[in-house]
Amino acid sequence: MTIKLIAIDIDDTLLDSKGQLLPSTIAAVKEARDQGIKVVLCTGRPLAGAQHYLDALGLAGDDQYVITYNGAVIESIAGRIVAKHLVDNAHYRQLTAFGKQHHVPFTCSMRTVRSIQLTAMLTGSQLYRRGKTKLGC
């Protein structure tokens, strides 16, 4: 079986414990790219927050991809959105109320006026149950 794609998280996986790219990591990514393997960085950060690492690894262009916002957005490194799964305003309000009621902190970032993507879901809570949320979103 031929490997066609490697998807790798940035923090504490791609980066060392000091938040740095090791020369051996850069070399391994280059070797994979030289073999025609797509290397896709995955992160909770927006594209701008991953750009430094993409540049250091030589990943660029509209035919290379990055998964951002904890998986909510898949985009080309050039910024073209391939897929997105955003939380709409009504669900955001439900999540906010739930978080406040249960003292569960979370953060969100605005992508558009109407769409909001949660960057840290309500982890450790009972929000999720078998892939469905209690809120129905």
Give Cβ neighbours of residue 91 (< 8 Å, ≥ 6 apart). 135, 137
- Closest to 13 measured CA to CA, from 48, 51, 44: 44
3-state DSSP helix/strand/coil % of the chain, to nearest 5: 30, 25, 40
* H-only helix segments in the chain: 23-34, 47-56, 89-102
- Identified catalytic residue from 9, 16, 55, 88: 9
> Nearest 5°: CA angle at 16, between 106 and 39?
80
Are the beta carbons of 34 and 28 closer than 8 angstroms?
no
Q: Is residue 9 annotated as a catalytic residue, yes or no?
A: yes
Active site residues: 9
